[in-house]
Amino acid sequence: MDVYNSEEQQVEAIKSWWQENGKSIIAGVVIGFIGLFGWRYYNDYTRQQSESSAAGYQQVMQNLSEQHEKAFAEVGQFIAAHKDTYGDLAALQLAAEAVKANKPELAAEQLRLVADQASDEEFKPVAGIRLARVLIAMNKPADALKVLDSVTAGQYKAAVAEVRGDALLASSQPDKAREAYTAAMQASKNGVNPVLQMKLDDLSVASEKVDTPTAK
């Protein structure tokens, strides 16, 4: 640090330093305040938007539960306007109602939207598995198998294997279906799945009938 011989020299040095650096300091302070208030404004805005989206979601879901098919268009508009978590949730609910209304094409459309473009990665495997089930019901097992190939999340291994078995069975591949069901049983962490066990038992009975020679 420089040593000044008098108070006057110190004052002059401060003035000189301020002339050189004062503007940048003021600018930094101003920018800091703008950043602070801008961040607060952004937080307030996003909070308000989130609250508005949540309220809108609750309203359209209530309408969907009460009006069913009559609310499909309204829910679709909400989904288009809220391509975020609430939009994804609404799409999943719309797909479920579409299945009940015997509109599998609409259900598949909504599920594919979430499976491919969900803002929250957690929704994608759920939508993919549901989409595969809808495609099987639409007699499109090959398409269902393609969708299942894209669902790689480990926690859904058992569910994917079971639906894969359904698709293979629908494709007249009972042996591969049995392998998939067995894999699903082994991957399950929730104990014995009675529905899955029934599918395996049915395949075993069918196989025994095929293997048993017809008496003459």
Closest CA to 124 of 151, 145, 105: 151
pLDDT of residue 190: 72
Contacts of 148 (CB under 8 A, 6+ apart): 128, 129, 132, 160, 163, 164, 167
pLDDT of residue 212: 54
DSSP H helical ranges for the chain: 7-67, 72-81, 85-100, 104-117, 123-137, 141-149, 157-170, 174-187, 194-211
Q: Tell me the average pLDDT of the chain.
A: 81
Q: What is the mean pLDDT of residues 124-153?
A: 95
pLDDT of residue 182: 93
pLDDT of residue 86: 87
pLDDT of residue 145: 97
Residue bearing the bigger pLDDT, 23 or 141: 141
d(C-alpha 62, C-alpha 198), whole Å: 36
Q: What is the mean pLDDT of residues 64-79?
A: 94
Q: 126 and 138 in contact (C-beta within 8 Å)?
A: no
Q: What is the tens place of the pLDDT at every residue in 30-60?
A: 445 444 444 353 344 345 556 667 888 899 9
pLDDT of residue 17: 57
Q: 114 and 124 in contact (C-beta within 8 Å)?
A: yes
Q: What is the mean pLDDT of residues 150-165?
A: 93
* Residue 103, phi-psi category: left (phi > 0), alpha (psi -120 to 50), beta (remainder): beta
pLDDT of residue 101: 95
The identity of residue 90, as a single letter, is: A
Q: What is the mean pLDDT of residues 5-19?
A: 59
Least confident range of 58-67, 81-90, 170-179: 81-90
